[in-house]
Each structure stands twice: as structure tokens, then as C-alpha cells.
Amino acid sequence: MGTAAPVDASTGAAGGARAGLRLMAVHAHPDDESSKGAATTARYAAEGVEVLVVTCTGGERGSVLNPRYVDPPQTAEELASVRREEMAGAAAALGVRQHWLGFVDSGLPEGDPLPPLPEGCFALVPLEQAAAPLVELVRSFRPHVMTTYDPSGGYPHPDHIMCHKVAFEAFHAAGDGERYRGHGEPWQPLKLYYNHDFSLHRMRTVHEALQEAGRESPFGDWIESRAVREVPERPVTTRVPCAEHFPARDAALRAHATQIDPEGFFFAVPRDIEARVWPVEEYELAESHVPTTTSPPEEDLFAGIHLDDVAGVR
């Protein structure tokens, strides 16, 4: 990893320099990187961390979700082209690099019974075939930390579930020289995290703050629905302070104009209230190859990773 200075990455010593550290965030579709962990990636990019967002599919089978979008694309090919342009704008807003893994959006099945998934879509690609390009990318970019979704996908979209499987496979296989031969020299990432952007704790906290301020909350129905369905909460091990990077996150969201209504859900919480009561993004530490403690919760995805331990390893 070059001649990185011997500083403690977990505390940001030596003036907070993070040069030499690398973070890979693996997502299913363009716009996921802006609604899940975006302020975290913007923070680390601003601190000098190399951040690579990986987008598994092109979002070809998505819909235009912004009712204010003018002249929407008429074909999947047109939509894919527009979404590529939107992704470039979002990456620029966050200050990150971005890579397309090249798979085709599976779409969100609807109906009862659910229709079969379309032939050739991401969710139907055999795991080793789907993971191979990500393993190769991990071995070339050599991240110290990877983030993705938990096994549920965060919500039951087949591409989100497949995204978890592929990222999980790549995290474990990239360091094994006996696996995925011909896809680069082995590299073992040190930590794997799952995004937790819509925890019940977060929704309740923001919901109550909005009610106290006499403002309408977008979370009331969500909270009731989660309570009725008794959705289990996954453990939160890590809370990354990133409120000062909410503007970059918001700019990235707005870049996805086909998907994000600038007057809709994602902008329903006044930013001063959000920064006051929930100035963090949450994660679950799924696996770590370095000593770390999560009680109390970590405040840094690179906690336990020391640049002097990895300097010169590339």
C-alpha cells in the first residue's frame, strides 16, 4: 500500500490523515449508494480514504419513481442510459469512485403468486459466476473494509438479497489463493459491515423529534407496520458520525432524478432536526480479522485497523 504513515486509523491520528485506507461499498442498483451509507462514504472520501462504490446492476427494470420527472425514458435501454448519467452525478457529489459490475436488474416481482424472475437477471446468475468479477475487483482495489446489505437484503428485493450473497462470497473468497484462480492475486479485506439505515430505533427517534416540533413524520406507518409484523431488529455495532456530510448525501440523492422526488420521503425530515437527533449512520459488524470492540458501539468503520500494520502491503 505504498509508504503510508504509521498512524492509527481507528483514531485518525496525525491530523486525521486517512490516506492509504480503502473502503468498498457494494450495492444492488444505482441510487442505493445514495440512500444507504452515503454520508459515511462522503465523510471517508473527504478524509482521504479511497472509496469505491460497486453497483451490481444497471437498474434497467426499475421505474421512474419521481412524479416530477419530465420526459421519462420509454425503454429499458433509455432508462439504463439515464441512470448511468445519474450515477456519475451521485459519485461526483459523494467524492467517490464507482464501478459497474455489469449484471442485469432483476426487477421487483409483484402479484400473488409472484411471477418468475426474468431469464438472465442478476438474481438468477449462479453464485460463483456472479461473484467472480467482484472477487477480481476486490483483489485489484484491495479494500480494508467492505460494506453491503444483511442476508435479508434490507428489504426483499431479489437483487438486494443477491448483492449480499455476492459481497459475502467475495469477502471470504478473495483472500483464498485456491479459489477463483485467474482472477487476480489474493487479498483479504479486514472487516465486513452491513448497512442499517432504517432501523426501528432511528425511525422512532426521528418520529418523536418531529412530533415534539409539531411537524409531520414520514415514519408513523412504518413504525406501526414493523410492530405488527414483529420484524426482528438486527444488532447495531457501529454508529459513524457524519452529519456534516448530509449535504453531500442529499446532493447525491438529487442526482438520481428518475428515482428521488426532491419534495418526497427522503427530504421529509428537516435537516437541522436530523443532524441534532440522529447525526450518524448505523452498521452491523459482520466479520473482522482485526481485534475490535463493539460495546459501546464503534464510531469508525476502520476501528482496529492501523496503517503501520498494513503500510507497504499492496
pLDDT tens digit string along 231-256?
778 999 999 999 999 999 999 999 99
Q: What is the pTM of this model?
A: 0.92
Which run of H or of E encompasses 195? strand 191-196
pLDDT 10s digits, 89-117: 999 999 999 999 999 999 999 888 889 99
Task: Quote the CA–CA distance of 166 and 24 in Å, as a whole number.
Answer: 13
Domain range 13-198+235-310, CATH architecture: 3-Layer(aba) Sandwich (3.40)
- Nearest-angstrom CA–CA distance, 22 and 50: 5
Is 76's pLDDT higher than 90?
no
At 83 the pLDDT is: 96
Q: Is the separation of the CB atoms in 174 and 189 below 8 Å?
A: yes
Q: Which residues contact 253 (CB under 8 A, 6 or more apart)?
A: 31, 34, 35, 38, 90, 260, 266, 267
Question: Structural domain boundaries of the chain?
Answer: 13-198+235-310, 200-233
